[in-house]
Structure 1
Amino acid sequence: MAESTLQQSPFWNYINMKEMVSKDGYGEVEISVFPDLLQRRGHVHGGVIATLVDASIGCAIRSLLKENEISATIELKTNYLRPAISAKLVGKAQIVQRGRSIAVGETKVWDEEGKLIAMGTATFNIKEKG
């Protein structure tokens, strides 16, 4: 598995994102919500939820990369199902297909009460480092 970059990102540190699992094509990422992550109506901003989709799938993909490979998001789709007002959100992702240069994953974002907040898919490009 390639080394985690989540703790190296100032953005992820700022939004309190934590990688919980990155193993065997599965990724789980959690965010503890604070006021700066809310939109004007008091719900978690949609961009934060999209970030959970992207990051959780990224963690799942990273678990399948060889040491000499890196990946980058090339497509992201998020379906928002209900407003998020929870203090904690978690994205749980699974890789659907991993080819030589492309991987596709899907995720579900849950609140701390077990309500489904959003679903999403992402496509990542995979290439050798350097």
Structure 2
Amino acid sequence: MGRTRTYEWEDPALTAAAVGQSSGLDFLREMQAGRLPAAPVSATVDFRLEEVEKGRAVFSLVPGEEHYNPIGSVHGGIYATLLDSAAGCAVQSTLPQGVAYTSLDLTVKFLRRITVDTGRVRAIGTVVSSGRQTALAQAQLVDATDRVLAHATSTCMLFPLPAA
């Protein structure tokens, strides 16, 4: 018998319209508090922004069967999604009003398998270096005992948003 999962998300245009209207940190805090809708991908994958401060963002996920690949463990794309979100939002948390970012690359190293038995995992992103046009961030995916499951680095391009 097949399994099903149902989920909902809010209009992503609401959140997209708010990008750059405040500092990146304030924007993320509004999302974390539920005053701005989370990205639809967070509903699809079922992860959430757990912590945010300047230069740091933490996302969490409780792995389920719906995250599995054909060999019975969490798919690498789920790892990458969490790590990309953490690294990118760490960069976003440092941006002033009117500035946005986009990821230029993501390099992921998978160190341990994740299954439903792993329990809740956290992707902890931090900014390594930030300049006028690019920022470098890293993220670690850890289990409840802070054992590193995967590591990533990401380069982000920074750019001014057009005046409204």
TM-score (norm 2): 0.74
Identity %: 21
User: Corresponding residue for 1:16?
Assistant: 46
From 93, 100, 116, the counterpart of 2:148: 116
User: Corresponding residue for 2:83?
Assistant: 53
Structure number, greater radius of gyration = 2
After superposing the two structures, state which structure 1 stretch, 71-80 or 19-28, moved more: 19-28
User: Corresponding residue for 2:5?
Assistant: none
User: Corresponding residue for 1:43?
Assistant: 73
CA distance in 1, matches of 2:71, 2:145: 20
1:11-53 deviation line (CA, Å, top 9, x unaligned): 1211111111221201111112222111122211100001111
Map 1:1-130 to 2 at 5 A. 1-2=23-24, 3-4=27-28, 7-85=37-115, 86-130=118-162
Secondary structure, aligned partner of 1:125: strand
Between structures 1 and 2, the one with greater helix share:
2
Please report the RMSD computed on the Cα atoms of aligned residues, expressed in angstroms: 1.6
CA distance in 2, matches of 1:10, 1:123: 23
After superposing the two structures, state which structure 1 stretch, 15-24 or 70-79, moved more: 15-24
1:64-119 deviation line (CA, Å, top 9, x unaligned): 01110111100100000111122322111110101011000111101234321101
CA distance in 1, matches of 2:69, 2:145: 21
Greater RCO, 1 or 2 (C-alpha within 8 Å, sep 6+)? 1
CA distance in 2, matches of 1:93, 1:12: 16
After superposing the two structures, state which structure 1 stretch, 112-121 or 102-111, moved more: 112-121
CA distance in 2, matches of 1:11, 1:75: 19
Structure 2: stretches of 5+ with no match in the other structure: 1-22
Matched length: 130
Asked whether the 8 Å contact 1:84–1:111 carries over to 2, the reply is: no
Amino acid at match of 1:71: Y
CA distance in 2, matches of 1:16, 1:93: 18
